[in-house]
Amino acid sequence: MSTHLLNRSTFGDPSNSGNLMTIEEAISLLNEWVPNEKLRLHMKQVAANMKAWAIEKESANEQTALKWELAGLLHDADWEKYPDDHCRIIIEELERRNIDPDVIHCIASHGPKVFGVEPVSKMDKMIYAIDELSGFIHAAALIRPTLYEGLEVKSVLKRLKTPSFAAQVNRDDITDALSRINLQLEDLIQFIISHQKDVS
Ligand SMILES: [Fe+2]
């Protein structure tokens, strides 16, 4: 796995706490920065999972749920245009826009081995756990004639044990991420299937 170490430990300005953007603004940034529709869908799926997790599992209020959703929507925003500088470019853009540091830290820590930034908050830990698994589950759905319809946790588990399937998805990262939040793999797979199946 190639690394894109950020070599930083603080992100954003604490005085920007509470400064967010609207979902419409985030979508328009995505449309501008990410021409690849499949990659945009990945970010929308991660965002849907993050928002749902915040509301259902963390009893988040509207503002907090928006933070989780924005981090999901924007976490790979620079990947297509700046693959060698992912995720430094989107982080700097969000700092320039004076966005809440929690959102920026969450994006900076979504791949600790790649970016060298450890997840700290629950939001950080959840994006790390959801990101790879969401992409993997989508790949598992795409090869089925009925897509998400009838997709079962056990078939996702079976594919995870097949190294050649979606080989770019690092299984060790999924295990590492889950160990940080004390969550069963089966439960997170079920949560993701239910919350991303209708995202378009
Ligand atoms: Fe991602």
CA of 146 to the centre of ligand 1 (A): 24
pLDDT for position 2: 77
Q: What are the counts of helices (DSSP H) followed by strands (DSSP E) for the chain? A: 10, 0
Mean pLDDT of the chain: 97
CA of 40 to the centre of ligand 1 (A): 10
pLDDT for position 166: 96
Q: Which residues contact 88 (CB under 8 A, 6 or more apart)?
A: 4, 6, 78, 82
pLDDT for position 82: 95
CA of 13 to the centre of ligand 1 (A): 24
For residue 3, pLDDT beyond 90? no
Domains of the chain, first to last: 14-196 (1.10.3210)
CA of 42 to the centre of ligand 1 (A): 7
CA of 73 to the centre of ligand 1 (A): 9
Q: What percent of the chain has pLDDT over 70?
A: 100
What pTM was computed for the model?
0.97
Task: For residues 30 and 135, give the distance between their C-alpha atoms in angstroms, rounded to a whole number.
Answer: 18
CA of 15 to the centre of ligand 1 (A): 28
